[in-house]
Structure formats: C-alpha cells, structure tokens
Amino acid sequence: MRVDASRFISSGLIEAYVSGLATSNEVQELERGMTQYPEVAAAVNDCQLDMEQYVTLQSKTPPADLKHRIFHIIVNEEAARESGTLTTETDTEEFPETKVYVSSSWRWIAAAAILLLLGSLLLNYVFFGQINDYKGRYEALLSTQNTLASESNLYKTRVEQMEHSMDLVKDPSMKTVKMPGTKPFPSALATVYWNQQSKEVFVMVNNLPEPAADKQYQLWAIVDGKPVDMGVFEMGDHHELLQKMRSIDNAEMFAITLEKKGGSAVPTLDQMYVAGKAS
C-alpha cells in the first residue's frame, strides 16, 4: 500500500468523515484522496457500509398513514404536471445554484482574501489545539509538582521530629523506664524517657491499641505511693515519636491508664495498660 494512502487510512479522517464529524476542509481532503487512491475509496466505502448497518439496526416503522399522505401529495403533483397547471416547483433549497458575475480584478482580490482568511483560520485551529494540549500538560505538571512539594514538606517535618527525638535520647542524663503491659493487656508496651538533670519526662508508645474517639491515654507518676497526673497524650501520627509530658523530680513508678478525653483526677485502675518501675 502506498504511503499516502495508508496515511489517510490511519489518520482517523475516514471515521470522522463517515460519522459526520469531519470539517468541510477535511471532507475535501478525503474526497481528493478517494479519487487519487482506489484503496482509500474502498476503505471509506467499507466503513460507510458498517455505519449504515449500525443506523439500520435502529430502524423503526413509521406510522401507517404517512405513506398515504406522501402518495397523496405526489399523485396530485403528477396530475397537475400532466395538465400543465403545476407552477414548476423546482425545489432549490437543498441545492442552491446562484451565479453572480463580478469583475475579474475583484474576483482575484476576493480569492486572495479568502485564501488569507482560510490560512489564518487554519493556523488558529492548529494553534488553538496546540495551546489546549500544552495547557493540559502544564496543568498536569503543576499538580504533580504540588503533590511532590507537599509530600516533601511532610517528610521534612518527620525527619526534623525524629532528629529532635534522637537528640533527646542521646543525652547521657536520659534515663529509660520500660513499662511492660499489665495482666489484662499483656502485649502493651510503652517507654518513659526521664532526664535526670532537667527532670523533663517524655513518653514513647511502643504498642498501645488506638483509643476510642472519646478516650485518651494518661501518664501517671507514682510518688510516695500516690499517683501524680503527668498529662494526657495523643496517638495520631505522633505515636512513634517522643512526646513531652510534665516534668517531675522524683518518682518510684510510671503507668499509663485509659481515661475519658482530657484526663481524670485519679487513675482508673482497671484500665491500666502498662506500668514500670523507675529504679
């Protein structure tokens, strides 16, 4: 198959022509191709036959009286034609053929103007398509860029938080208090980091179940056998990092209980998840 003919066949022009989508320029281009290459004409004809099959599948019988109405009109017309009374009703609306003569110089100018206009329209069309294409690609890149930037910010924050936690843990005065799970919650585990110099206390959740929406975990220090409130903490995204709690000078034990949101004044002992000795 010749290169030009196969270009027509793979361009989508035939499908556009058969479906009625082709612009008048495209119609002219394809019709030239059909007279030039028999294989293009055959491809158009095959596609048209299939489209006509699709159309025929959607057939519906018109109302019965319509045929009589049409025949009534044409029979009357024929009778009038034979008796010569028909005012030659040549129907030209479908195929207007008007001839206007103008001087040849104006014809050249008009032809040139039309060519320029067509050229400009074609360029408009081409550039408009390109601009739309670039706009789409630009927007896609922009949204990818935004996604990457926000992801990168997220990672940056996480790294900073982790570095901060590492710095705290690296401090030689930091004491680690491991709090294993109590009997009812054997798999629970949390750790208290207690700076012996600054007396600051941090908690790290190793394994605690996600609390219900109206509940929060609360850290307690046991001082002289009595519980001291060290504050509540959130799970959320932070559960892998150290969270700062209240500072305390002395404590024999630390424990975590599950309390109502905001914390309680005294611990709910049957909801004690973890506990560990400080010394």
Partner 1 sequence: MESAFTYTESELVQGLKAKDQKVFGYLYDRYSPALYGVALKVLNDESNANDVLQEVFLKIWRNIDRYDESKGRLFTWMLNITRNSAIDTLRSKAHKMDQKIQDIGDDVHLYTGNLTVHPSVDHLGLSKVLEKLTKEQRIIIDLAYYKGCTQEEISKVLEIPLGTVKTRMRNAIIQLRNLLKLV
Question: Which stretches of the chain bind partner 1, using CB under 8 A?
Answer: 12-13, 15-16, 18-21, 23, 47-48, 50-63, 66-67, 69-71, 73-75, 78, 89, 91, 94-95, 128-129, 132-133, 136
Q: How far is residue 249's CA from residue 243's CA, in Å, rounded to a whole number?
A: 18
| Nearest CB to partner 1, comparing residues 13 and 255 | 13
| Nearest CB to partner 1, comparing residues 77 and 234 | 77
Shortest Cβ distance from residue 128 to partner 1 (Å)? 7
| Nearest CB to partner 1, comparing residues 48 and 247 | 48
| Nearest CB to partner 1, comparing residues 85 and 103 | 85
CA dist 92 → 89, 98, 213, 227 (Å): 9, 10, 79, 103
| Nearest CB to partner 1, comparing residues 57 and 265 | 57
Say how many C-beta atoms besides its own lie within 10 A of residue 44's C-beta: 21
Shortest Cβ distance from residue 158 to partner 1 (Å)? 38
- The sign one gets for the Cα dihedral 161, 166, 169, 172 is negative
Both tokens of 93, joined, read 């609306």
CA angle 9, 13, 14 (to 5 degrees): 65
Shortest Cβ distance from residue 120 to partner 1 (Å)? 17
Shortest Cβ distance from residue 75 to partner 1 (Å)? 7
Helix (H) or strand (E) holding 176: strand 174-180
Shortest Cβ distance from residue 212 to partner 1 (Å)? 41
The DSSP code for 270 is G
